[in-house]
Amino acid sequence: MSSSRTFEDKQPQRRASSGFEFMKGVGQVTGGTLLSITMLASSIVAGGLVGLAISFRNLPDVRQLRNFFPSETTYIYDVKGKLLTSIHGEANREVVPLDRISPNLKRAVLASEDSHFYDHHGINPVGVGRAIVVNAAAGGVREGGSTVTMQLVKNLFLSHKRAFTRKLAEAVLAIRLEQILNKDQIFEMYLNQVYWGHNNYGVQTAARSYFNKSAEYLSLGESAMMAGLIQAPEEFSPFVSMKLAKQKQKEVLGRMLELNWISQSEYDDALKQEIKLGRIKSFQGSALPYVTNTVAQELAKKFGRETLLKGGMRVQTTVDADFQMMAEETVSKWHKLLLEQGLSKNQMALVAIDPRTHFIKALVGGIDPKSSEFNRATQAERQPGSSFKPFVYYTAFASGKYTPDSTVVDSPVSYRDGNGMYSPRNYDGTFRGAMPIRTAIAQSRNIPVIKVGKAVGMNRVIETCRTLGIMSPMAPVSSLPLGAIGVTPLEMASAYATFANYGWQSPPTVIARVTDSSGNVLLDNTPKPQLVLDPWASAAIIDVMRSVISEGTGKGAAIGRPAAGKTGTTSSEKDIWFVGTVPQLTTAVWVGRDDNRQLADHATGGVMVAPIWKDFMQKALKNVPVENFKPTSQFSRPKSQ
């Protein structure tokens, strides 16, 4: 087809060494004589302006553009490369090199804005002369005569207020800029800097917004329509008026035909081409806001908010979009079921972590991200109740003085704490005498865990929690083993994941990798696990938590494969939990109310949350092979301390 012909195909007798070869030779459109006159006039005017530049000593130093990096949009992707959202400040921009921009668009822009770009030295005397005539007739500044180079320095350095002195400044800066950057560099910078409407800066975001394609693949018709936007983007936007957009497209194509840059058949075909519009993408919401908001917070903490908004980072998360959607749908489903069971105004959070990497695989911070931005998975510190007990028993096992079969006595006891006497009770109000730790945790007895905590030392329990990443304030009081502190679901999932990985821990993260727009690695979260807990004690706590599901309060979480977990219910039924794990996935589920009021009489983690965990895990593990936990016999038991 004729549309595939390049500019140099049509003018083979004139080829220059620049990478932008197809535009070389534009001077021939008016003949060699006019070109000579134009070049001579350009040199004369340029020389005069160089002298005039002495009076512009306070103008910006254009040499800094050698190291100029325009603000760029940050893009966040799921683990498979699916775009989740983009984050930017005022300028939504993705920088692309000149050789990845359609030749059609480059020709259309130069035809519309500066057809002599590759022949002048920053200013175009013909254009300036025309502007002088028009402005003189109008009695004011009506036409600028600006070249692409002048437009670029105006956009980067000067105000957009029309004035004669500003035009002089543009001219001086344009000449200076052409002395330090070549034409291709200037044109590439211009195309990536110019505003195209609807918060799109640069050709790439504009092409994706208007036509849902990369700037590299724009057709002649699409290119002409985009080039027509530059003078008044919102007015001529096809999203606003396709009629006006087509009118400007026709003008640009007509100019290209006049310059002999396209043939009559290409002109006709471009006008007939059906324009398939994309959609405005700036400031659109995220499909997975709980994930992307968490990512944004991590990035801002690591790199600063300015870099987040303008640094053009490419972020690969640890989350699969389909997996996350399944988790969100599970939470929404069970929210409605719990409402039917009388748990009014219930909220929910779910965090799933791969214990082998500590990569977050799903993160749901509430029942509806559109109704509330508050992320309960990472921000809500709620009491864990009995799901805290494994931290106490792990500490006991790590001391070398206890095993899963060690006997503890479930009998009345009182302690004097700072607030007076404390006499703990079991949830059912009874006492069951001597029993092994395995039974005590399976039945979630309160008295035994407090006795064990007292025996090993509450400060050592706190040390275990700190090692596991739980940073909430804790006091070594008698009620600590019953979970009288605030924790987030993310902290609980991460802690149990460390148990499931036999004491090996990496920082939990939702970010796998971050690069800049050129592919340079800024952050690589490849797991580098460290052994932070005793492996035997970790395997032992997993072993006793398996009894919770097989014969204890967590029977509702049985999923037909080896699993370990713990129920959690706080006093007055304000917070109910189930935190559990298989070797490949650890999940914490929390249910409560934002106003911290009682959910319902006898609302427990075992009855109401374990089934949620089960439902999610069965879906999550559908195609995952069954795997057994390592027995304690594979590890050396710690010596008694």
Within 8 A by CB and 6+ apart from 230, the residues are 109, 112, 113, 194, 196
Within 8 A by CB and 6+ apart from 25, the residues are 7, 8, 11, 14, 15, 16
| Packing angle, helices 242-258 and 103-113, rounded to 10 | 90
Find the catalytic residue in 209, 219, 223, 386: 386
CB atoms near residue 413 (< 10 Å): 16
Catalytic status, residue 572: no
Conformational region of residue 572, where left means phi above 0, alpha means psi within -120 to 50, and beta covers everything else: left
Selection from 384, 472, 396 nearest residue 437 by Cα: 396
Cα dist. 494→392, 436, 489, 505 in Å? 16, 27, 9, 9
- Indicate the pairing of strand 83-87 with strand 74-77: antiparallel
Catalytic status, residue 386: yes
Q: Are 298 and 595 in contact (CB under 8 A)?
A: no
Find the catalytic residue in 113, 222, 328, 491: 113
- φ/ψ of 17, rounded to 5, equals -80, -15
- Give CA–CA dist 216/206, Å, rounded: 12
- Give CA–CA dist 2/5, Å, rounded: 6
**How many residues can be counted in the chain?**
641
Cα dist. 358→370, 421, 490, 564 in Å? 28, 41, 11, 17
- Give CA–CA dist 105/202, Å, rounded: 12
CB atoms near residue 234 (< 10 Å): 13
DSSP 608: I
DSSP 509: B
At 615, which helix (H) or strand (E)?
helix 610-620
Q: Are 288 and 365 in contact (CB under 8 A)?
A: no
- Give CA–CA dist 182/185, Å, rounded: 5
Q: Are 592 and 620 in contact (CB under 8 A)?
A: no
Q: Are 348 and 331 in contact (CB under 8 A)?
A: yes
- Which residue numbers are catalytic? 113, 386
